[in-house]
Structure 1
Amino acid sequence: MNCKNCASPVIDNYCSACGHPRLLKRVDGHYIIHEIQHILHFEKGILYTVKGLLTHPGKNIREFITENRNRLVKPIIFIIITSLIYSTINHFFHVEEGYVNYGGKKDSATTQIFAWVQSHYGYANIIMGVFIALWARLFFRKYNYNFFEILILLCFVMGMGMLLFSVFTIAEVLSHTKLMQVSSYIVIAYCTWAIAQFFNGKKVVSYVNSFFAYLLGMLTFALAALLIGFLVDAVFRH
């Protein structure tokens, strides 16, 4: 028979050209459990990725980009999953409503844009990462990393930021103590540290550049959202 993936002749259980199995296992309860275990498995999974990003983010992300892309969860998947975790937790506990509230008109484009950001953190974080990556590319232009490699770095780092927010959200609910403002400083500190570690954690200037790249990236993202909302409102009003 021929491989159903690349049409090459298949003699053994797997295609010698692309590695696709000759026969796929039937989707059943065992298959679903195996897929869940694969995602959560400590080696090459979410837990392994989180551990690596907490202890040695710079080293692990550099290895992902330059040496081995199988040890960590794919960066886009990682930031979407972690953002979904935070969004789900916030949906049940509504902690964020006491901190984040854009005071514009409900029918304005700007208000709708920020409402979309709050409802789609996964995609919004990727867009925000583009802005931060542009600033990081400027501040760390002496290093041999292109824009897309820096964007991969930010997907991992901002994904960890979402997990930290999730932990503090649960802690606030359980302790009945206002912790989300504290968590914002901790997330900024973590992102600053992780980005600096990626480039050169031994230089103080790396932490300064990292902090301003992250801060200016968030600021320009917010300003861009405001500008787009203003332009949309201006066009439709006329």
Structure 2
Amino acid sequence: MNCKNCDTELHSKFCPDCGNPSNLKRIDGHYIIHEIEHVLHFERGILYTIKELVLNPGQNIRNYLSENRSRLVKPIIFIILTSLIYSFTINIFHIEKQYIQFDGSGTDLSTSKKILVWVQGHYGYANIIIGILIAFYTKMFFKKYKYNFFEILIVMCFVLGISMLIYSFFALAEGITHFEISQIGGIMGVIYSTWAIGQFFGKGKLLNYVKALFAYILGLITFTILVVIIDVY
């Protein structure tokens, strides 16, 4: 009998090369529950990742890049999942004041307006695009630290993911209390992002936080400019 994944000859329950089981169990209710528990597991799941990124984002992201990549949720999955949580929260409570806001109720929409409507419905992908732009400026401002662009992009995925959870928390609070506090969440998201990026490059230097704030703001401005350029041309 050979492994169905890598075709190595099998003499046990697991492949000695790739670790794939010789016989996969059928997918049933127990399997689904186990997968959900695995994602939410506090040791190496979404809850653990959130805790570590809230308490000490700089050190934990550095550890992810250079030492251990199994302790935190994968960054792309993390930002998409947290963006889905935000989208679910604002939709279930019908929160209108989103952190990227546009009323797309009209039928005659320009290209830029259509893009903004798309952003409101696809925060996960939009955050990756915005993260790329912020990473570009971060790389430019912190070039002496020798991190490559893709490593900084990983930082942005984790940082923007927590920002989305901050937006979600304030949107949830607004939905329950009916006090308009979602905009406070937007401010807190910027503060967290500035703090986390600055801490990643060295929490003892005030200049790092200033450069992090400028990189964040320039990334958002560039995204807006690109939307306008696409509309014009």
Structure 1 length-normalised TM: 0.94
DSSP-derived class of the 1:95 partner: coil
Contact 1:102 1:114 in 2 (8 A): no
Distance 2:142 2:135 in 1: 10
Q: CA RMSD in A?
A: 1.5
Which runs of structure 2 are paired with 1:37-116 in the superposition (5 Å)?
Answer: 37-97=37-97, 100-101=101-102, 106-116=108-118
Q: Number of residues paired by the alignment?
A: 231
* Superposition deviation, residue 102 in structure 1: 5.5
Q: 1:50-96 CA deviation, whole Å, 9 max, x = no partner?
A: 00000000111111111111000000000000000100111122213
Contact 1:75 1:155 in 2 (8 A): yes
DSSP-derived class of the 1:142 partner: helix
* Superposition deviation, residue 174 in structure 1: 1.5
- What does residue 152 of structure 1 align with? 154
Distance 2:151 2:14 in 1: 33
Unaligned 5+ segments in structure 1 are 232-238
Identity of aligned residues (%): 53
Could you tell which deviates more after superposition, 9-18 or 100-109?
Answer: 100-109
Distance 2:156 2:12 in 1: 42
- What does residue 29 of structure 1 align with? 29
Contact 1:105 1:111 in 2 (8 A): no
Deviating runs (4+, > 6 A) in structure 1? Answer: none
Q: 1:172-209 CA deviation, whole Å, 9 max, x = no partner?
A: 11122111111111100000000011111110100000
Distance 1:106 1:210 in 2: 38
Distance 1:123 1:98 in 2: 16
Distance 2:98 2:203 in 1: 36
